[in-house]
Structure 1
Amino acid sequence: MQLLAYPRESTALDGEWQAIPDQYEMFRDYFDDFVEDEDGDSAALPDEDGQPALSFESIYEPSASGDDDITDFNIYDGYSMRVPSSWGEEMPEFRHFEGWMWFARTFDRDEIEEDDRTFLRFGAVNYKAEVWLNGERLGEHEGGYTPFTFEITDHLQDGENALVVRVDNKRYEDGIPNESTDWFNFGGINRSVELVSVPESYVRNFKVETTLSDDAVDVDVSAWIDGGATADAATAEIPELGVESELSSAGDDRLTATFSLSASDVDLWSPSNPKLYTVRVEYDGDAVEDRVGFREVSAGGGEVRVNGESIALRGIALHEEVAGKGRALGIDDVRTRFQWINELGCNFARLAHYPHTEEMARTADEEGILLWEEVPAYWDINFGDEEIQELYRQQLRELIQRDWNRASVALWSIANETDHNDETRNEVLPQMADYVRDLDDTRLVTAACFVDETDDGLVLNDPLEEHLDVVGVNEYFGWYYGDADDMKHFRDDPEGTPIVISETGGGAKWGNHGTEEDRWTEEFQAAIYRDQTEAAAATEQIAGISPWILFDFRAPMRQNEYQRGYNRKGVVDQHGRKKQAFHVLREFYESGRLE
């Protein structure tokens, strides 16, 4: 269960760290097979005076680094690097480095506000992380975009504490994503690191769910207590509505309470009215609270609905990236993205192709922007491998438990552009859809799929459709194939599963001008957008659209003279300069033709 850390007071470990590249992977236990003492521990070769001269201790041992020896690393004096950061943006000489990078910093125990128990939390590390504190191994984590924690209560020592993290950003055939992606591999501790202290027994996490009926709003609160029973009861409260209740056992590891509220007393969250209420859960002196919107999302009959009302999803897709920062976004970067999203007239955004910083969903709550969130089950995942399936479920779980109180999050996506002719994929993805619903059945499950061209028009032949609440369709008519308005030939079923065009568009380099027939020009891209959006508006089963993509982003496989390592399908370039397609999309949304 994810540790709910966001609303708690914490001690940030952001700032200057020491970074040590280890391209040959030599600094962790490499010499253990060569030099060991009688106890099997790493030893040291003596100098001519019989004193240790060269340490064979691993880098995570604080005693292995110092000023007066000739060890080939020093965790107290490496490359100075900020955390959070993507190392290739922080230090350009490491821009294309893929491999092990060791990070280290010290902190004094007196600097932290300790309670009975203390946890070390990482917002995200790309891609694998292994962590030691004062030479003691805390554990490891795989997955570059979701948070993870270790309890360090028994590892803290008085005075200075040495924290060492091995970060491995190599691309793995058996990873999620695997070796081949269409985005840049930003290695680093890309999100914040913090120390979170809690009582012996505390509220680990809580979840708020909303169900609407004719005259009532039912708000269900579930809470998970860690540390054993130390008090008689836990309570949940919504102060603004003046309601409070004890939580009772649900028969599993949850405590639950339900508030049945009159519909007239509750201001429901929606894109046009993003109202948030404080929900507070308390147990034995430990209290956590979050700002939550009460709303219900549903789908059927070719529609997506919010609070029972049909809504056309006017969207845009985006990656998590900032020129010069990589994946280490600050709050100002998040606000800039929502400034563009709002200027376009969007009420919806697809956060592709992995979990973005949780600040995106929290800001979307405030701005009234519905979100599609996803994990990087992208292209050719080995779906039949049981270890990969477990990693798959882990990444889904970590994302969902982080963001399940965000009113803005309407869709969980389980995959992108996977082969619907793969029988193993067709067995595993429905299982993942069920797993998502087991974790959270109050949102819609989707995936980005393809349509097939037949003599009778475009059809959706993906067997995954029957397991999804909404089907995403990626199509690039007019760019990679066909004509830009070919989606008008889709054989739609107005009462079928709602479809969101999850990707469409074409490329242009900002400032490159010509005619509408000249590829890579702003004019060509704008013309494609006009036809693609009109075709989508004419198809009844299409409930929304999120063109690809908000801004140009780094992509190593894109190397022609117009791209030079960037995917140029953005309606804004990487520096924030708007292309003509930006204005075409804004005018289309303002026209109301998608309603």
Structure 2
Amino acid sequence: MSLNKNIILLLLFVFNIFPFEIQAQKVMQNAFGRENLSLNGAWQYIIDPYQMGYLDYRQKPFDQSKGGKGGFYDNITTPDKKTRVEYNFDFEPSLQVPGDWNSQDSRLLFYEGTLWYRKDFNVNQKQDKNYFLYFAAVNYECHVYLNGKKIGTHKGGFTPFQFDVTEKLNNGKNFVVVMVDNVRKKDEVPTINTDWWNYGGITRDVTLVSTPKSFIEDYKIQLAKNEKDVIEGFIQLKGATEKEKVTVEIPELKIKSSFTADENGFVKIKIPVKNIDYWSPENPKLYDVKISTKTDKNSDKIGFRTIKTVDKDIILNGKSIFLKGISVHDENPLVGGRLKSEGDIRMILNWAKELGCNYIRLAHYTHNETMLRLADEIGLMVWAEVPVYWTISWNNEETYKNAENQLAVGIERDKNRASVIIWSVGNETPVSKERNVFMGKLIDKVRAIDDTRLVAAALEIERDGYAVTVEDPLGDKLDLASFNEYGGWYWSEPKELPKYNFEIKFNKPVVISEFGADALAGFHADDDTVWSEEYQELFYKNQLNMLEKIDGLRGMTPWILVDFKSPRRQNPKYQNFWNRKGLISETGYKKKAYYILQNYYKNKNLNKK
């Protein structure tokens, strides 16, 4: 009698002789608000450009062979005298996590390839707890091993992921090994060609999160769409064995409401609310929100606000607003590399506030969760984006699934952040039928997940003489007529900008998602000389005057707050692998154009139509 096919597959998987990758699981909400053991700090590492620790000489993965042995993840450090081992983590240097590898070791400045990390840790495991290994971000593809056994894989350089390791931990000593590969590939998201540094590594926090066996996995608690006095959302429990009671408390609003989850641990919530103090940049009010069951508690700080468009206006909490913004990358120019700490992030956000911003564009990928939480706290509205950038493989089904997953995970992580007013599905994607279908599906996905925020993208423009037209067909599905334009830098000259006029084919608010010009801090010349601060200064003066003529202009995020590293920018005198469009240099120096934009924002009437 033959075995059932599913049993055969299960046995092959259990004994690790079937080439099947375990994908990362749905991430929990507010992971860092739970009991956790930080795995940040020094991790030993091995540079492995040939993937010797993963593939045998026939290019077959060791972890898909019988027994799964032979890779660096075995972590053999004390072999017997007959065992040949061609690696040893104990004698390797260390990298700091969180942090990219490019900025920590001169050998790795331009490195794109495979690198192995190892971390030893101890756990006092409790039988009544679940344990999840949680990564806030790893760029780009990674394979994760715990105590020599593979626990899963993940793709995507900017989104969090986790693995349930409850049954895989040792009570006491443990080690985790992570193989990270940041090689750019045509069918990935983003694709091969970008204009930012491809920072490799475990770039954000790693933690071992513990929860009760039945716990609060996810929740959304926000104002209902276009409602100022109704809180709406859901709560999802994990591991519940019965229909559990769930309580939501907002003590300051005198709210304490109970609900009963269904057999799947899910419950929708709807709570009337009075005398609420609405979140805004001028008043970034956050409430303590507590969710509890008989076995678990979770608390969060959440702001409540409404956002919508009416014709060519953007309405926050019932009032017209102008988005005084700036674009930012997830990069610390002063010390190099990705933003690594709350202090790094506060520096960037404080620079934006000092500029006069009430709004930032987090380009061109999902930023650190701490960035969003601090934007909530200090009062900055946010455009959040997925890395569908330039020339994605529009016809590749796996590419679309990857993009949709990164988009959905970002939305799910940040759906309770009042600061997020716009979800963006991409940047400067060339118009084609295939692109329109791809991005149209992403827009539909956003609206299916979250209908309380605006949806946008940086659209394409057309030029004919001094006429600039915005009629990208994707604009029909979006809430904003948002686009990038580089008049005065990539086309025309600053002195010509007053001659240009814009024709916007959509009855929607206009938000200029990018404009900018490079300037090397400290290089001074006349305003006709490119790379000079004077050229950039004149550029900003004339850009702002030109844009003021646009009917329905309701905001902008010039490119960019701070100079950032890019392998595309190679001029040894003026760039040296830096994109110099920042208003602030990599040393923190404010260029002359900074003060032009700061003065414009200072005098901009927020309610001016």
**Normalising TM by the smaller chain, what interval?**
over 0.9
The answer to whether 1:224 aligns with 2:236 is yes
**Any conservation in 1 of the 2:426–2:457 contact (CA below 8 Å)?**
yes
What is the DSSP-based 3-state SS (H/G/I as helix, E as strand, rest coil) of the residue aligned with 1:81?
strand
Shift of 1:94: 1.1
Counterparts of 2:359 and 2:61, CA distance in 1 = 59
**Higher alpha-carbon deviation: 180-189 or 248-257:** 248-257
**Any conservation in 2 of the 1:211–1:295 contact (CA below 8 Å)?**
no
- 1:159 pairs, out of 172, 176, 195, with 172
What is the DSSP-based 3-state SS (H/G/I as helix, E as strand, rest coil) of the residue aligned with 2:289?
strand
Counterparts of 1:203 and 1:99, CA distance in 2 = 38
User: What percent identity do the matched residue pairs reach?
Assistant: 37
Aligned to 1:86: 100
The answer to whether 1:24 aligns with 2:50 is yes
Aligned to 1:566: 578
Shift of 1:433: 0.2
**Any conservation in 1 of the 2:467–2:500 contact (CA below 8 Å)?**
no
The answer to whether 1:403 aligns with 2:414 is yes
Counterparts of 2:273 and 2:472, CA distance in 1 = 41
Shift of 1:213: 6.9
TM-score (norm 1): 0.92
Aligned to 2:207: 194
Aligned to 1:437: 447
What is the DSSP-based 3-state SS (H/G/I as helix, E as strand, rest coil) of the residue aligned with 1:491?
strand
**Any conservation in 2 of the 1:66–1:74 contact (CA below 8 Å)?**
no
Taking the TM superposition and a 5 Å limit, the aligned residue runs for 1:490-501 are: 490-492=502-504, 496-501=507-512
* Contiguous gaps of at least 5 residues in structure 1: 43-55
Q: 2:28 is aligned with what amino acid?
A: L
Shift of 1:452: 1.0
**Any conservation in 2 of the 1:552–1:572 contact (CA below 8 Å)?**
yes
Q: 1:483 to 1:389 in 2, by over 3 A?
A: same
The answer to whether 1:470 aligns with 2:506 is no
Q: 2:197 is aligned with what amino acid?
A: F
Shift of 1:300: 2.7
- 2:291 pairs, out of 277, 281, 285, with 281
**Any conservation in 2 of the 1:246–1:257 contact (CA below 8 Å)?**
no
**Any conservation in 2 of the 1:236–1:257 contact (CA below 8 Å)?**
no
Alpha-carbon displacement from aligned partner over 1:427-446 (angstroms, at most 9, x marks no partner)? 12111101011111111100
- 2:272 pairs, out of 251, 257, 260, with 260
**Any conservation in 2 of the 1:19–1:102 contact (CA below 8 Å)?**
yes
**Any conservation in 2 of the 1:236–1:281 contact (CA below 8 Å)?**
yes
RMSD over equivalenced CA pairs, Å? 2.3
Q: 2:39 is aligned with what amino acid?
A: L
- 2:33 pairs, out of 2, 7, 28, with 7
Taking the TM superposition and a 5 Å limit, the aligned residue runs for 1:109-508 are: 109-110=123-124, 115-211=128-224, 217-230=229-242, 232-249=244-261, 254-262=266-274, 265-323=275-333, 324-420=335-431, 422-454=432-464, 457-484=467-494, 485=497, 489-492=501-504, 496-508=507-519
Shift of 1:254: 3.2
What is the DSSP-based 3-state SS (H/G/I as helix, E as strand, rest coil) of the residue aligned with 2:410?
helix
Counterparts of 1:113 and 1:195, CA distance in 2 = 13
Counterparts of 2:605 and 2:411, CA distance in 1 = 33
Shift of 1:77: 3.1
Q: 1:466 is aligned with what amino acid?
A: D
Q: 2:230 is aligned with what amino acid?
A: D
Q: 1:463 to 1:486 in 2, by over 3 A?
A: farther
**Any conservation in 1 of the 2:386–2:426 contact (CA below 8 Å)?**
yes
Alpha-carbon displacement from aligned partner over 1:420-465 (angstroms, at most 9, x marks no partner)? 1x11011121111010111111111000012212468222121000
TM-score (norm 2): 0.90
Q: 1:115 to 1:532 in 2, by over 3 A?
A: farther
Alpha-carbon displacement from aligned partner over 1:200-223 (angstroms, at most 9, x marks no partner)? 111101111213778x51011311
**Any conservation in 2 of the 1:202–1:284 contact (CA below 8 Å)?**
no
**Any conservation in 1 of the 2:243–2:260 contact (CA below 8 Å)?**
no
Counterparts of 1:376 and 1:202, CA distance in 2 = 32
Shift of 1:158: 2.6
**Higher alpha-carbon deviation: 270-279 or 216-225:** 216-225
Q: 1:34 to 1:94 in 2, by over 3 A?
A: closer
Q: 1:63 to 1:559 in 2, by over 3 A?
A: closer
Q: 1:14 is aligned with what amino acid?
A: N
- 1:528 pairs, out of 520, 533, 539, with 539
Counterparts of 1:139 and 1:35, CA distance in 2 = 14
Alpha-carbon displacement from aligned partner over 1:105-129 (angstroms, at most 9, x marks no partner)? 111123x777521000001000001
Taking the TM superposition and a 5 Å limit, the aligned residue runs for 1:506-517 are: 506-517=517-528
Alpha-carbon displacement from aligned partner over 1:168-192 (angstroms, at most 9, x marks no partner)? 0111111100111001110010001
**Higher alpha-carbon deviation: 448-457 or 505-514:** 448-457
**Higher alpha-carbon deviation: 220-229 or 285-294:** 220-229
What is the DSSP-based 3-state SS (H/G/I as helix, E as strand, rest coil) of the residue aligned with 1:360?
helix
Aligned to 1:51: none
**Any conservation in 2 of the 1:376–1:415 contact (CA below 8 Å)?**
yes
Counterparts of 2:37 and 2:136, CA distance in 1 = 14
